[in-house]
Chain A
Amino acid sequence: MAPSGASAAAKPQAWGEHLSATAVRRAGFDPALLLVVPAALFMLLLFVYPFVYGLVLSFEPKEGGALANYHHFFTSNRLWPTIGTTLKLAMPATLINVFVALPIAYRMRQPSPWRRTMTALLVVPITLGTVLIAEGMLTYFGPKGWLSQFLQAAHLYDGAIRLTHNYWGVLISLVVSGFPFAFLLILSYITGIDPVLARAASTLGADSRAQFRYIYLPLLAPGLAMCFCLAFVQAFSVFPSAVLLGAPAGPTRVISIAAYEAAFEQYDYSLASAIAMLMGFVQLLIVAFVLSLRGWFYKGPVGGGKG
């Protein structure tokens, strides 16, 4: 009898606790939010602090006024064209990656053994990293590489093939390293769309092309914008392949090379910070523009049923 009495007495207390917890939540504070604190601290230490430090540093040049570094960047012929050079590499690479990955991923929207093989194959370049890809490409695409030897042996093309140490080498490497990422991301967006929608569209008279245009594309648009941004940011900060596969003195002197030189060849950390800030600013502009386009599209759930 006693234990049951005790548990009966404990009950109202538990109820009381429950009520007070609800009351706190209603007042706008959920204790579960405390779990965010470690992550937030981590972000503050590892990201926000270096960012603010760099920002402040960029306004403290070796000589001249607070804006001297920025003034120098936009007046130096060695510095400001790097923005254009980088965009010229990053934009085409991103567009190729996203818009080539899209039709292929669409074709593979149904599960198949083929899709599993393809997915597994594409994960490899992601794990290899850009340096290894660059080394491989030097072997395959160089003037004495396999591709060149094969084309010449087959008499398909007899001229010199220059696919390394220039713009094309870097572009190809950006595609090789960025494509799998774009493909896997888009594939996951596509497989998240309920295939019954396409079946419904087909019973209403939509062929495969119309299903893509009217069902998949609008539902994918926000995901494509996100994928574009991530792929772009990745390509915009290209460094190893621009050095290893490109012509870092000229056509592929990208903005990260300029920042590297300022920091580690001229030991001007302040200028390097300013370049890094500008690099971030350009990325931010493009990302903000692309994400603002998302406002035009439907952003709700992509299922066909209730819920």
Chain B
Amino acid sequence: MKHDFNELRLEGVTRRFAGVGGNAFNALSELNLTVRRGEFIALLGPSGCGKSTALNCIAGLLALSGGTIRLDDMRIDTLPPERRGFGMVFQNYALFPHMSVAKNVGFGLKMRGVPASQIAPRVTQALKLVQLAGQEHKLPGQLSGGQQQRVAIARAIVIEPPLILMDEPLSNLDAKLRLETRSEIRRIHRELGRATIYVTHDQDEALSLADRIVVMKDGVVQQVGTPEEVYAEPANLHVARFMGYRNVIELPVEGERDGRVTLASGDIRLSGVRKLPLSGTHAMVAIRPEEISLAAPGAHANVIAGRVDNVEYGGRDSLLEIVTPNGTRLHVRAPGRFDAGASVFVHVPPERALVYPQEVH
């Protein structure tokens, strides 16, 4: 197996499963993606959207129902996993319970026929990279969850695979360990420079690790872009919701000019940026809680009056739930402490109020 590549090209990769009552459904539809050398790609989406299916198709653990996968000019989607030689890290570690840490890490080398005398130093080096030097002789059951996951990472990278696949590697760890291991993964990626496809349902993980993010829903890719693009310019309402635009409000359209849209109902009057062509009398506006700020009373543009209904104190700031006189709820993140029941005015910057067409139900 070759140790590096220029391009991994997925074209129309599709996987169908027999669903309940014999209705086949696409767990993954027409995935098109080109992964470049050394790139860190995150597959992001809610549980059940087909991320693992996509990863298993690339690893060779699932056969494709359609499409092709090419590594440079070689077609690989017909090869079994053991001939593709991609390193894979599983959600629940999948360490071999009967083998020591050193045996686990050395397994891939042994399968490649590397002589034992060369396996040992490479295992030591890999364990050093994941900061587990000295644990060679323990069994996986004697390690903590975080250590086990680092053994799994060492096991995947020691074979120097052209591509590393990770399926929610941090989701079984507690919050603190998750942050630490996340930085480890970032550091290891920088040191090795291996292309990585990383599956996660956590947008913070995707934003902090990836060079490019692939957002998925129901087996269909919604957006491919850099973390900045996906964060600031969600391609549609699904992506917006998933990326933390907690306020999604349906409002009547009053006017539209040069990509600027004015929406108005009884007690709310907002202008925002149109992201997709609108149709119909209503539109949806999506706003992040942290992009709304408190404002002085007065009839400025994009100011909404309301009453604080609920406060979640968060240390540096508080998450407020504000109700307008007509009952629309807004989530606002604001510094300081607040009391429920207080009257407030909030300001929505027009360039950060993203307007999308109404959802079809």
Using CB atoms and an 8 Å cutoff, list the residues of chain A in contact with chain B: 194, 196-197, 199-207, 210, 214-215, 218-219, 297-298, 300-306
Q: Which residues of B contact A300 (CB under 8 A)?
A: 97-98, 139, 141
Give CA–CA (A302, B99) in the complex, Å. 11
With beta carbons under 8 angstroms apart, the residue of A201, A202, A297, A305 that contacts B92 is A305
Q: Which residues of A contact B85 (CB under 8 A)?
A: 205
With beta carbons under 8 angstroms apart, the residue of A203, A205, A214, A303 that contacts B97 is A303
Give CA–CA (A194, B155) in the complex, Å. 18
- The 10 sampled A-B contact pairs (Cβ below 8 Å) are A196-B90, A197-B94, A200-B96, A202-B82, A203-B59, A206-B82, A214-B107, A298-B139, A305-B92, A306-B172
When the two chains form their complex, are residues B97 and A298 in contact, meaning their CB atoms are under 8 A apart? yes
Q: Which residues of A contact B108 (CB under 8 A)?
A: 204-205
When the two chains form their complex, are residues B97 and A306 in contact, meaning their CB atoms are under 8 A apart? no
Q: Which residues of A contact B141 (CB under 8 A)?
A: 300-301
Distance of B66 from chain A, by nearest CB (Å): 22
When the two chains form their complex, are residues A196 and B92 in contact, meaning their CB atoms are under 8 A apart? yes
Give CA–CA (A215, B111) in the complex, Å. 12
Distance of B173 from chain A, by nearest CB (Å): 9
Distance of A55 from chain B, by nearest CB (Å): 40
Give CA–CA (A306, B179) in the complex, Å. 19
Q: Which residues of B contact A202 (CB under 8 A)?
A: 60-61, 80-82
Residue-wise interface mask of B (85-114) relative to A, using a CB-CB cutoff of 8 A (1 in contact, 0 not) = 111101011111110000000011001100
Using CB atoms and an 8 Å cutoff, list the residues of chain B in contact with chain A: 59-61, 80-82, 84-88, 90, 92-98, 107-108, 111-112, 139, 141, 145, 148, 155-156, 159, 165, 172
Give CA–CA (A197, B85) in the complex, Å. 16
Asked whether A304 and B82 contact (CB < 8 A) given A202-B61, A206-B111, A298-B98, the answer is: no
Q: Which residues of A contact B156 (CB under 8 A)?
A: 203
Q: Which residues of B contact A194 (CB under 8 A)?
A: 94
When the two chains form their complex, are residues B97 and A304 in contact, meaning their CB atoms are under 8 A apart? yes
Give CA–CA (A201, B111) in the complex, Å. 9
When the two chains form their complex, are residues A203 and B107 in contact, meaning their CB atoms are under 8 A apart? no
Distance of B112 from chain A, by nearest CB (Å): 6
Distance of B90 from chain A, by nearest CB (Å): 6
Give CA–CA (A301, B94) in the complex, Å. 13
Tally of A-B Cβ pairs under 8 angstroms: 89
Complex: chain B residue closest to A304, CB-CB: B94
Q: Which residues of B contact A210 (CB under 8 A)?
A: 111
When the two chains form their complex, are residues A205 and B82 in contact, meaning their CB atoms are under 8 A apart? yes
Give CA–CA (A194, B108) in the complex, Å. 19
With beta carbons under 8 angstroms apart, the residue of A196, A219, A298, A302 that contacts B94 is A196
Give CA–CA (A203, B94) in the complex, Å. 11
Give CA–CA (A203, B82) in the complex, Å. 5
With beta carbons under 8 angstroms apart, the residue of B87, B98, B112 that contacts A203 is B87
Residue of B80, B93, B97, B159 contacting most chain A CB atoms (<10 Å): B97
Give CA–CA (A197, B60) in the complex, Å. 15
Give CA–CA (A201, B98) in the complex, Å. 13
Complex: chain A residue closest to B152, CB-CB: A200
When the two chains form their complex, are residues B112 and A302 in contact, meaning their CB atoms are under 8 A apart? no
Asked whether A203 and B92 contact (CB < 8 A) given A218-B98, A298-B97, A305-B172, the answer is: no
Asked whether A199 and B81 contact (CB < 8 A) given A205-B108, A306-B93, the answer is: yes
When the two chains form their complex, are residues B159 and A204 in contact, meaning their CB atoms are under 8 A apart? yes
Give CA–CA (A26, B56) in the complex, Å. 49
When the two chains form their complex, are residues A203 and B111 in contact, meaning their CB atoms are under 8 A apart? no
Q: Which residues of A contact B165 (CB under 8 A)?
A: 203
Give CA–CA (A194, B112) in the complex, Å. 24
Asked whether A207 and B80 contact (CB < 8 A) given A196-B92, A199-B61, A305-B172, the answer is: yes
Complex A-B, nearest 4 residue pairs according to Cβ-Cβ distance, in ascending order: A305-B92, A298-B98, A205-B111, A204-B108
When the two chains form their complex, are residues A304 and B107 in contact, meaning their CB atoms are under 8 A apart? no
Asked whether A203 and B88 contact (CB < 8 A) given A301-B141, A306-B148, A306-B172, the answer is: yes
Give CA–CA (A218, B100) in the complex, Å. 13
Q: A200-B96, A207-B80, A300-B139 are known; give 18 further A-B pairs, CB within 8 A.
A: A196-B92, A200-B90, A201-B96, A202-B81, A203-B87, A203-B156, A204-B108, A206-B107, A214-B107, A215-B96, A219-B97, A298-B98, A300-B97, A300-B141, A303-B92, A304-B97, A305-B92, A306-B172
Give CA–CA (A222, B95) in the complex, Å. 19
Distance of B191 from chain A, by nearest CB (Å): 21
When the two chains form their complex, are residues A306 and B145 in contact, meaning their CB atoms are under 8 A apart? yes
Q: Which residues of A contact B98 (CB under 8 A)?
A: 218-219, 297-298, 300
When the two chains form their complex, are residues A304 and B87 in contact, meaning their CB atoms are under 8 A apart? no
Q: Which residues of B contact A219 (CB under 8 A)?
A: 97-98
When the two chains form their complex, are residues A305 and B82 in contact, meaning their CB atoms are under 8 A apart? no
Distance of B73 from chain A, by nearest CB (Å): 23
